[in-house]
Structure 1
Amino acid sequence: MGLLTTKAYWTDAPDLPGLKIRRDDNRNRSEIRWGTPVDGSNQSGYDFEGLGTSGELGGDDFPLGVFTHHNYPILLGSFEKFSLTLQLQVYFQAHDLLHECRLVFDHDETPNVGAHWHDQVTLPDVHPDDAVVHVNGVEYTVTITGFLVGDGPHKTKQRTFDTPENDEFSAKIFAQFKQTGPSGS
């Protein structure tokens, strides 16, 4: 196992009302917010905070960072489902390897009427252009393996999660660099 670090920042987003993107390199954190708050207080949005952890190419999955969804009553116009892109940098110290990839999150913004007021976030796939890396003649495929959700022994990896209205939800995002063949095969 070797030390790896992650950094990320939000890049591509549709032209959402109230869109704001902030990056704090000192805290290794990036935030994106959208919508006009109904009660004048908070916008909805995402945060990503990169981690320093142990991990290895071809090994078990490891945490990339902590993802937080902020779900508040907002006015958003015609946007109900949209995608947001996080540019991610993973640095494997043992290999002096910096791999950059784009993660595209799908967001379902509920209209805050009816029985289901929870917004849903779907775990991203790695953009196809960024899903393969070659190191020392070996090919690895980058896969996002899940949001780690729950407490204590009840933790599970999930592809989606719901965040209730007027709430925030955080989960670690896990990934794996799985060996898929020799370089060039």
Structure 2
Amino acid sequence: MSKITTSGTWTAVTPTPANVSGLNTGHITWGVPVAGGKSGYLFSGGTIDAETDGSETTLGTFTHQNFPIMGGGINQFDVDLVVRIRFEEDDKDRNFSFRFHHFETPNDGPTPDDEVDLPTRVSPENVTIDGEKYAAVITGFKRNGEIVNKFLSPENGANSADIVAVLSRVGVSDVVITNVHHKGAVKYTQADEYVEIVNQGTAHADVSGWVLYADDPGQNFTFPPGTTLKAGQRIRIYTNEVHAEWGGYSYGSGRAIWNDKGDTAHLSDTSGALVSDYS
């Protein structure tokens, strides 16, 4: 375990929207206000415990100040963040870089919430711990107890989420089951049950032919050919629903897969070797 202290600065916006200010600070803003303030991003760090065993931790808190702004012809752009991490053991600062993709959606459209995504989840920088090289991998935004891939930000307010990350060995994938939502809300079929799987590693993982299964016969899901989990990517395999934002995977089963009283999900590779399980 390493105790670390984090802080962050926003270093670049590409392409550049109108009226940008706050570069190289922890609070960047842009746009010409319609009525309220400018829109912008904040990053707030803190002191946390960081494991090197794949455990997810909070890197800091991300806030999007979302106010109506006048259109300037650019509604999608990338915003770069540098997170400065100080490890207690050696009292040295190290910088880790990430990229956020911002979509300033039309306020009068069918989906007015602005969208924030993470096209770059793995820092290009690394740190050596106990002789091994590690990089920081962002695995999602945590809001209301749920970790999601994409941050949706309603208008006229400041919307926040924790940035969840892991320290992972450089050049290695690490696919793990992180949750089994075993009791769905859909009556009888529990079609909305799901298993959540995350690649917490720094390298992409080809999971073609891997099998997700329970302990009973006929409860196998095999990933189709060409299935790759990108570094930091989080997916869900539903019992009988298809959600594109989670990869679009489904058992296609007309009955519940996971036992409400207790069950274990297993994930094995093409050789049959157990990769991960979750009870």
Query: What is the distance in 2 between the residues matched to 1:44 and 1:135?
Result: 39
Higher strand share: 1
Correspondence 1:104 to 2:102? no
Indicate conservation of the 8 Å contact 1:125/1:143, yes or no. Answer: no
Alignment counterpart, residue 149 of structure 1, candidates 131, 143, 153 = 143
TM-score (norm 1): 0.82
Where 1:57 maps in the other structure, the secondary structure is coil
Q: Deviations over 1:49-77 (max 9, x none)?
A: 11111123345121111100111110131
Segments of 4+ moved more than 6 angstroms: none
TM-score (norm 2): 0.56
Instruction: Please give the residue correspondences for 1:46-85 in structure 2 after superposition, counting only pairs within 5 Å.
Output: 46-85=41-80
Structure with max Cα Rg: 2
Instruction: Please give the residue correspondences for 1:25-174 in structure 2 after superposition, counting only pairs within 5 Å.
Output: 30-39=26-35, 41-123=36-118, 125-126=120-121, 129-130=124-125, 132-150=126-144, 155-174=145-164
Query: What is the distance in 2 between the residues matched to 1:128 and 1:94?
Result: 21
Q: Deviation of residue 167 (structure 1)? A: 2.1
Question: RMSD in angstroms over aligned alpha carbons?
Answer: 2.3
2:169 aligns with 179
Q: Deviation of residue 22 (structure 1)? A: 6.4
Structure 1: which 5+ runs fail to align?
25-29
Q: Structure 1 68/118 Cα, relative in aligned 2: closer, same or farther at 3 Å?
A: same
Q: Specify the code of the residue in structure 2 equivalent to 1:167.
A: G
Q: Deviation of residue 156 (structure 1)? A: 1.0
Indicate conservation of the 8 Å contact 1:148/1:173, yes or no. Answer: yes
- Paired residues in the alignment total 171
Query: What is the distance in 2 between the residues matched to 1:119 and 1:107?
Result: 8
Query: What is the distance in 2 between the residues matched to 1:114 and 1:181?
Result: 42
Q: Deviation of residue 143 (structure 1)? A: 0.9
Where 2:89 maps in the other structure, the secondary structure is helix
Q: Specify the code of the residue in structure 2 equivalent to 1:133.
A: V
Indicate conservation of the 8 Å contact 2:102/2:115, yes or no. Answer: yes
Q: Deviation of residue 13 (structure 1)? A: 1.1
Q: Deviations over 1:58-110 (max 9, x none)?
A: 45121111100111110131111110001111122135453311110000101
Where 1:174 maps in the other structure, the secondary structure is strand
2:6 aligns with 6
Query: What is the distance in 2 between the residues matched to 1:106 and 1:10?
Result: 13
Indicate conservation of the 8 Å contact 2:56/2:165, yes or no. Answer: yes
Structure 2: which 5+ runs fail to align?
173-279
Query: What is the distance in 2 between the residues matched to 1:38 and 1:181?
Result: 46
Q: Deviation of residue 125 (structure 1)? A: 2.5
Whose RCO is larger (CA < 8 A, sep 6+)?
Answer: 1
Q: Specify the code of the residue in structure 1 equivalent to 2:139.
A: T
